[in-house]
Chains A and B, each alone.
Chain A
Amino acid sequence: MAEGGEPVILEDFLLAEDAPLLEMAEEDEELDLYNEMTFGLDQYPMEDTPKLLVPPKMSPEMAEVVAEETEAGEEPGPEVAEQLEELGEPLEEGGTELEQVGSELEEEEEELETEEQDDEQEPCEEPNDLGDPAVMRAVQSKPTLESQDSAVLDSRIGSCWAEFGKEGMLAMDPVMWGSCPGSVPPHRMLEEDKAILQVLERPPPSTNMALDFLGSSIQRGYGGSPRLKRPDLRLMSPKSFPQRFLQQTAGYTSPVPFQPGSPTVGSPPQSLAMHFGPMSPSLDPALLFSPSASSQLNLSTPSHMTQLHPQHQRILTQRQQQGRQVQSVSPKKQWSPKVDPHAGLMTSKEKDWVIKVEMIQLQSENMDDDYYYQWYYHRLERRQAEEELMGGRNKVEPLKLVTPFIQKVETYDSVVRIAGSLGQVAVSTCYSPRRAIDAVHHALVEEVGSHRLRALHRIEKLFLQLLEVEEAERKVSLALGKEQQPCEQEQQSQEVDSIYQALKIRVCSSEEEAEDEFLQLLCVRKGKKLVARLLPHLTREQGEKTLLTITHHLPFLMKKDVLDESLPLLYSPLNEVVGRMTFSKLIKVLQELTQPLSESSELPLAMALKNQFGISLLYSLLSHGERLLSSDVPLEPRSGDFEAWTDTVYLVARELSQVPKASLVEPLFLPSNLLSLFCRYLDKQTVHHLEAKMECSPLASEAAMLC
């Protein structure tokens, strides 16, 4: 495969070259191949085919580079190898695109790679153990993204970001990103990256395997798992750095330098061609990083930008110090000698992003909602109060966790390039879908003709208003005894009133029931819920009016509720309303039930008996009436009230006795004073009959004697 691969390599390598050269190269290449096969690896192919691989200017360049890298003047061998290795890596990524960065660079990279391989004389898969450092032999690099996919404009964007967006290069970040699609040679970055230079001071125990890794990784190209991110090498502690390379060769599918062009890149949130999370690369430094050089050391602590709780911070720094001390004293603990090859799967950038997201979630204007927040500070204050009492210390201000004010980034790249697509794909981002949906809904509202939709829309609107009112009230109640401002109260009642008005409750409307908006609302379960929740907030008159309307249209509502069976929702609040009514009002309501309907011969009363809500409401009304009558409170009845009352009672009794037991529904609540009510007006037999029907608990003997 190596040999088969060579022509490919050279093509890539020569992409930047002129066409004629390419042709010549190909020819010579074949010759070369033949030579190689015949005579074994030829050490100086360049001599035969000068034009083949590299323009002659490469040699001096390379020498230059080598010289640069070995500024310390140390032994070129392993040092250079390592440096080259270093260079090789970022250069690979930076250098997957051969065109833009500058052909010189690429060629440097190739040379350096070959050189290191030269030095090692590893039995690599490729035949490139060339003794002469001057020999330029193209190493199979990954096929350029650009070469493979004509649609890709610039595959470097993502890689730059991945590559240079390390904490170690904070200071240079703005510069880097500004110049990324430009020409900053990666190797210069390496020099500036202090972390790397430190590494170089310690000669690694064996570079053989390390470089082999590099070589093999180069080969894998696309074959390697493109999803695997290269471990965040720079941030590892210097000591373990060479070791990790060791391990990486061992069992690790090659951590191929992350290829932005990989076809699978489209989706994962870690795709670098697109944003990482909601951030855009150019905004990162501004948002997340504070220019802090100490970031490099934050291995175990989360990024410096996150503010930990002070105690937590203290623990972590203590631990770090201890760790460091331990390290200096004795070699690492049991597990460390075998450095984890799988560690560092998440880059610090990713970690920071997660932390950022969580911090954002923590932020909220309404701290009253946060149970944990409340409880925690409650406890803290309590503890401190205790301490104060005990120790008589000065009151220490409770330390609060300050979440960094991370502004949600609402900006995004106007030009999003997705690798692997033809040209520019239509992309749009939405940061608050809820707002967008609501906006659309608003726009649609006017057009909607359907009654039902309108009703639903109204319900939603009113519900929101109601929720706001309740929220305000809750806040007041939580305000720990603070007196509510009269103006606030006024405001609230106004809100409630507006909701009530919006409901458009019309008593005894002459309109068709289908036209009545309030009733339409009531037909929907949520509408019933709305009314049920609203009732406690209403004034007495408003509540009574509502009750009256509901009772008036009770047959209609009951009919509509057959499927839903949500009328009982209303029972409880209506019960409250009933409990406060005067006798006259009560009579009025009852009269609604006793008025014969135009459509059917049946009394609404009778129909109510067959519906759970209806019967419960009826019982509740009767019970209240009985309560009023048997109490000593002066009733102030209007003329005709008592007659109406007795009439009603008789009617009820009659209906009850007539209704077959089977169709009599159990009420939600059976008031205990109904029987005594009946006792007053009816004979014993009837009462017993009714008692059986209603399945009341047997009367107390005293009451029974009265009948």
Chain B
Amino acid sequence: IMASTKASKEQKYDRQLRLWGDHGQETLENAHVCLINATATGTEILKNLVLPGIGAFTIVDGHTVTGEDAGNNFFLSKDSIGKVCVAGSFHFLPTALTCLRLGSVLWSASVPFLVCKTYGLIGYMRLVVQEHTVIESHPDNALEDLRLDQPYAEFQNHIKSYDLDSMEKKDHSHTPWIIIVAKYLEKWLSEHNGQPPKNYKEKEAFRQLIREGIRKNENGVPEDEENFEEAIKNVNTALNPTKIPSAVEDLFNSEQCKNITAQSPCFWVMLRAVKEFVHNEGNGSLPVRGTIPDMIADSQKFINLQNVYREKAMQDAAAVSKHVESLLQSVGKVWPESIPEKDIKLFCKNASFLRVVRCRSLAEEYSVDTVNKDEITSCMDSPDSEMVFYLMLRAVDRFYQQHSRYPGVYNYQVEEDISKLKACVNSLLQEYSLNVNIKDDYIHEFFCIFGRYICSNLLLCFILGSAAQEAIKIISHQFVPFNNTFIYNAMSQTSATLRL
């Protein structure tokens, strides 16, 4: 029965396993999500989390929630791994107050908090997480890690093993373009004082140099050598200097990396180990990634070249492991039990793509002293910015606080509520010293259409679909969550991410 359950799970989850792998799926099955006021939204968010396989749920009714008593066991237990709290605010939840209290409890417990709200045709999501590390960010357009500008010893030896001029035509036409570029780069460097092609003119000349290497037939006509064409096409990216991305440099310089303790999460221990590697065995560079793109070549040449990269990657990962071991020892921990080797290998492979997301707390967002005035005023400079909807949502919150109801619920209230809401907008802008202008249209629209029960099911579905994926990102530590406010306008089908 166990086997058939495993097999049927593999079948069921096949399409998503291809995105986050078995290890990602495991994190979902071990996750525990708390849904607050989810019952008011029907089963939408539950569906979006149950379908991909989230393991456990705690559901809390919004009417009774306060920061302190909302699922105490859930929040305050020591182990917050795999826990996310999603709060939906759709009706009756006095947003600001409750969310702030809830927010501070969750912040202290290091439980990521995702707030979802819809109001008329505007959807809102806020992610609150102190520090979220991502090893597998799966970037869409990653640059290859080829090291052509600083070939390591084994790579150099491998390049030496080729003699392009003396090769048979068949071998010549099936030599990987990486080798071709490497060979011609050697030639160029020897003729240009060790300086690689830098500007467009030089790169053109370099491409021409390669083109001249194409074999010619007895009539002097260049043969059809696709691998050489590939080499020429890839010159630009191939010549990119090997560099540690600034995002990774920033991580190296962060406090968590500098101060490794027994409590340091694995991410920081591994990052520090990579940093040590960079300053020692790596000679200023990250561990070699170990992958190369497919290219025209015969099987043997390609596989041999691929193995040169793979073996170097393994070597570098082993060196990083040594640093991990000594770091752990220095804080009284044991290796490899604390951090398995396969985790270190995965970390090294993704070294260029590591990301850490730090969201500001709700307290910081709401406090007059720390409100992000710059972000608000600069967004409001653009006429079409979604920021205006954020401010309107805040004004509506304020309205609720003052009048214990939402504006314009009944037709007869509409006229007086216009001026009441406008007053809320003004007091909000004044309190935060925001020198921005909100057109009357927005105020009229907000309460003409927006009132109690206003959440359009459809808007909810958009936001709760997005929310589910953000929760999955948080739980799996794969792909990068947004930071920190997402506004969706169903009128225009546009959206924006704001940092508040």
Answer whether A and B are interacting partners: no
